[in-house]
């Protein structure tokens, strides 16, 4: 076996593996962009719904401090999670409309 054959056998496969990982990186980038767009659309929809229902809120980095019927709640618009201010238990919702429904039920039950 000469040097050229040895080099091709050894490093030729490596270039093929690198091209496969480049394809995976491209696919990962597509998925990442899709997830980022989905989270942004959830945040935009939450702004619209809060405006429709006259819910006041303060935007922080990841959470919003919302005031609903005099009670304050932290809402995480990208994940749909929420919790009452001063509590540690986290509740889940499927968006801003579901969050408001659950908050009103939570407020009336307590």
**Domain boundaries defined on the chain:** 3-109
pLDDT of residue 11 exceeding 80? no
Q: Quick one: 14 exposed, middle or buried, by C-beta within 10 A (0-12, 13-18, 19+)?
A: exposed
| Eight-state DSSP code of residue 84 | E
Q: Tens digits of per-residue pLDDT, 19-55?
A: 667 678 888 889 999 999 999 999 999 999 999 999 9
d(CA 77, CA 82): 9
Q: Tens digits of per-residue pLDDT, 56-99?
A: 999 998 999 999 988 999 999 999 999 999 999 999 999 999 99
- On the CB side of 57, CA atoms within 13 Å amount to 27
């Amino acid at each position: 076996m000469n040097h050229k054959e040895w080099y091709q056998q050894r490093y030729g496969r490596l270039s093929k593996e690198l091209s496969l990982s480049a394809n995976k990186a491209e696919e990962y980038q597509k998925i990442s962009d899709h997830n980022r767009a989905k989270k942004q659309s959830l945040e935009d929809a939450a702004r619209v719904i809060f405006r429709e229902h006259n819910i006041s809120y303060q935007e922080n980095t990841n959470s919003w401090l919302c005031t609903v019927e005099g009670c304050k709640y932290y809402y995480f618009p990208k994940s749909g999670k929420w919790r009452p201010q001063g509590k540690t238990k986290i509740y889940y919702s499927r968006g801003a409309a579901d969050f408001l429904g659950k908050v009103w039920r939570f407020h009336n039950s307590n």
